[in-house]
Structure 1
Amino acid sequence: MDILWGLLTLPYAPVRGVTAVVKVIAGEAESRQYNPVNVRRELEELDRAAAAGEITPQARDLAQQRVLERLTTPTGDPGRTPPRRAATAGRRRSPVRRRTGGRRGEHGGRGS
């Protein structure tokens, strides 16, 4: 069955490949955008430019505000919050219960 399915969907392989590449690129871009090292580097670059007189303090404050807004509202949508990878990385998820098969009620499940 897998071989037959693979042959039938072979014309769509380039689309699946492009989709996979886009997902990888989007994931990398998102991780770089929210990486604390990159955020700190941006803020330090703004401070350096303001100290050198390349930008005004008001322009620096505005740019810093944009960086901080990007962290708190990644899509510009006030209802969304940024992904919190570090806080949830160590958490364990509850195990998923799966039915082993058979009809409902046959193994003591609901409805019996």
Structure 2
Amino acid sequence: MDILWTLLTLPYAPVRGVTAVVKVIAREAESRQRNPANIRRELEELDRAAAAGEITESERDRAQEEVLDRLTGAVHPAPAGERRRAGDGGRRGTAAPVVRRPTGNGGRQARPGRRAG
């Protein structure tokens, strides 16, 4: 049976290989992103840029907060009126996840305008 399965799924072998490589790359990128040495280097770079006048103090503070949030995994809602930036990964200002509650009718959801039952 294993030989038959291997032969039938052989055309998908390149896809499985690419998927495995992508998973390894994603794991490595995440570990580098959360590495305390890299976080410290980024914070030092922000301090250097602020001291050189390349960025303002408020920009430095905001960037430091984002770097530290990445380290701790904290997510803060965006202040009212602030738009999300393309590079923030959609973390700020996102809605809470939808929680489904039992309906008492065998898991079926009632349609609008109809009673459950």
SS at 2:55 equivalent: coil
2:10 aligned residue: 10
Superposed, 1:5-84 pairs within 5 Å as: 5-73=5-73, 76=91
- Structure 1, unaligned stretches of length 5 or more? 80-112
Q: In the TM superposition, what is the alpha-carbon distance from 1:4 to its structure 2 partner? A: 2.2
What amino acid is aligned across from residue 63 of structure 1 in structure 2?
Answer: A
Conserved in 1, the CA contact under 8 Å of 2:36 and 2:71? no
Superposed CA offset, 1:30-55 (max 9, x none): 00010011100000000000111111
- Give the structure, 1 or 2, with the largest relative contact order (CA under 8 Å, sep 6 or more): 2
In the alignment of these two chains, the number of paired residues is 79
- Structure 2, unaligned stretches of length 5 or more? 75-88, 97-117
SS at 1:47 equivalent: helix
Cα RMSD for the two superposed structures: 2.1
Conserved in 1, the CA contact under 8 Å of 2:34 and 2:71? yes
Q: Report % sequence identity.
A: 76
Runs of 4+ in 1 over 4 A off after TM superposition: none
Q: In the TM superposition, what is the alpha-carbon distance from 1:71 to its structure 2 partner? A: 2.0
Conserved in 1, the CA contact under 8 Å of 2:47 and 2:60? yes
Q: Distance in 1 between matches of 2:63 and 2:5?
A: 52
